[in-house]
Structure 1
Amino acid sequence: MGAMAALGALPAGAGALPPLPTLGVPGVPELKPLTRYEAMRLGPGWSHSCHAMLYAPNPGMLFGRIPLRYAVLMQMRFDGLLGFPGGFVDRRYWSLEDGLNRVLGLGLGCVRLTEADYLCSHLTEGPHRVVAHFYARQLTLEELHTIEISAVHSRDHGLEVMGMVRVPLYTQKDRMGGLPNFLGNSFVGTAKFQLLFALKILNMVPEEKLAEAVAATQKPKKPAIDHAAAAAAKAANELAGPARAGNEFQDSAENQAAAQAAAELAEQPAAVPESQAALEQLAAVPVAEAVAAEQPVQPRADAAAEQAVAEPME
């Protein structure tokens, strides 16, 4: 089913178009919407990017109890950012849809969109003048799976496209698992805004659930517990316990031995240290002899001079 069919038939006249819906999710900056007619009237200084969201109802259950609701395709890009299939379209040579299908053929290989799949256009933020066109096509789950398989064999797989991913549209009981954690990833350009906009406009996720998921990503996360490090620290403490007990016992035994040695030393008569005896013996030697003993042997010519110096003055 085309995106326009999901929104209802739109009048052909540009002036009769109803006001474009806004996202209206707290915490997500709004982009300026414009109609397809207005976008086509922009001057040559504007670039046009076209991207598509392919999705399918999914009756599956995660863990047998969490409804999966829909399968929505996005892709991991070469720069590590999440985005939708598509790219820039040169309006000098291609219509929006022809340019989009050309890019999709490089990344997916087997899908073609039409103007009936057009969903919205927005002016992007930033220094570049870019208008982002967004398309959405509902498929069956089997058709979506076929596209996932063919994407692996496309020309850009492993080059500009690292692989397809599915968006989890549920929120687990911890209020983070599923869509909130997914929204915490890094997205390219307007991809995150386009995802939330499409989920709201196509009634794939209730608006309050989108707001809760966005709000959960803005809360400071608790530091993750490193269970391996905690177990290692616990084991180290358990091993250190006996070692500390052994050290305390050894210290106690050494202290007792030192005390006993001190007591035995106190009972013995005081002995003159060898250094003190050497000093007393040195004091008994005449100073002149001590000096002479320390002086090196001098030549005979100097001996008389030393003797004269050593003799007392009259």
Structure 2
Amino acid sequence: MFGTGHWAREVHGAALAAHPEVEFAGVWGRNPAKASSLAQVFGVRAFDEVGALLAEVDAVAFALPPDVQASLALQAARAGKHLLLDKPLALTVADADAVVAEVEARGLASVIFFTHRYQPTTTEALAKAIDTGGWHGGQAISFGSIYGEGSPYAESVWRQQHGGLWDIGPHALSLLIPVLGPVTSVVAVSGPRQTTHVTSTHAGGAVSTMALTLDSAPLASRAETTLHGESGWVTLPKFDGDAVGSLSRAISQLIEAVPTGRHPLDVRFGRDVVAILAAAEASALTGARVDVS
């Protein structure tokens, strides 16, 4: 495992340590003292060097900021390691493309942990929606409030810099794209409290909207994703909070994907999400519609 923060300790480490098909080999972190402390929690080895850890494992789990993740994921892929990644894959399309190219060249398996997508109730609801068809659009509202006292993410520098668009936008897209299809263009505007409002046009003509922030007024906090179409309105299940259970299922699916190197939520899908977010970020700066490529 790469990473030593709250998410690494409470979710990634816990899921890896408990998974019956995983031998948890060790931890590497940018802060050696934190890596040593976390390794002791799980009874594994702390590695001082990335290369030393890569030499001992078949796969790597990442719990790092996306820009750091992208660089290390490329290094791990070059070493022939399968990848269990967090979202977003990267903060630039170029970095995402580099990881995709290396994974494809080596036939590696990869899975990105879009938390909701490994929750059974969400999986069932999406499958039913896809089977039903006839959807005209969707709406995702995700107003988080993570900067309050006691929040484990209050000091997250990358979240402060890139906001809800990059942190929770991937979750919304992971729910909308399977039903409405690929995004071809976006228009985005910025609002109060670091809110980004994104209108996306999908390949089949459907239109979706996302309203995203990590700095909501506490009383305005809300999370909801809805679809609308010929069958009326459907509200997708909210996340039940069992992140460890979701990650455990993601680990199992990574193992299952090893023979083929393919998964619906692999680095290819992750790259497409990064492209949408980058286009939305560009649109919010200019007010112009931006094509997604």
- With the length of structure 1 as denominator, give the TM-score of the two structures: 0.21
Name the one with the larger strand percent. 2
Larger Rg belongs to: 1
- With the length of structure 2 as denominator, give the TM-score of the two structures: 0.22
Q: Which has the higher contact order (CA 8 A, sep 6+)?
A: 2
